[in-house]
Amino acid sequence: MRGLTLVLGSVVWGLVGCTAVPELPAPQGVFRAAKAPIASSTRFDPASMAGVWRVTAAFASAEGTLPAAQLEMRMSGPAILVTRGAWMMPKGTYEIAELPGRLVRQGGPEVWLLWVDDDWRTAVMGAPDGRVGWIMERGKASADRTRAAREILAWQGFDLTKLREVAQ
């Protein structure tokens, strides 16, 4: 009887593991001053965007730490395909706009690369309308790069009091 209980328990837990995790809704609000200047990075390189990025901080109205989020991107012809998305950048195809660093998803948010470090380890993304913004990393974050990313967000008009840490 104990063996049957263990088998049934394993089956139930296996089925629970197969259920889809619901995607979090986008936070409500605008997190940057509408009249503040904003610019996308001229260092944008679509091939360098490819890969897995771990979101370390993002804007949200709610207090506290946000749930873990990763983005995975790859080149898809003249566009970037987000194969693992999160509320700030949902899955889908993002066309590369004429101006560098600007990605446009049909029916979705426009997001810009605002800054990236020299080795493409830390990047800052945001929307010109101020509804989303985040810092993402590859590998281990450094205090210097995180400070630079926060300074870029502040310089481009984002309200750093609404920037929340993301669980790792």
pLDDT in tens, 19-73: 333 344 455 689 999 999 999 999 999 999 999 999 999 999 989 999 999 999 9
**Structural domain includes residue 27:** no
Range of the structural domain that residue 82 is part of: 46-165
**Structural domain includes residue 5:** no
pLDDT in tens, 78-94: 999 999 999 899 999 99
Find out whether 117 and 53 touch, Cβ atoms under 8 Å: no
H-helix or E-strand spanning residue 104: strand 102-104
**Structural domain includes residue 33:** no
Find out whether 155 and 32 touch, Cβ atoms under 8 Å: no
pTM, two decimals, is 0.83
CA nearest neighbour of 153 among 52, 29, 31:
31
Count how many domains the chain has.
1
| φ/ψ of residue 133, rounded to 5 | -170, 145
Conformation bin of residue 64: beta by default, left when phi > 0, alpha when psi is -120 to 50? left
Residue 106's pLDDT is: 84
pLDDT in tens, 120-147: 999 999 999 999 999 999 999 999 999 9
CATH, residue 117: 2.40.128.20
Q: Could you tell me the two tokens for 49?
A: 């965007």
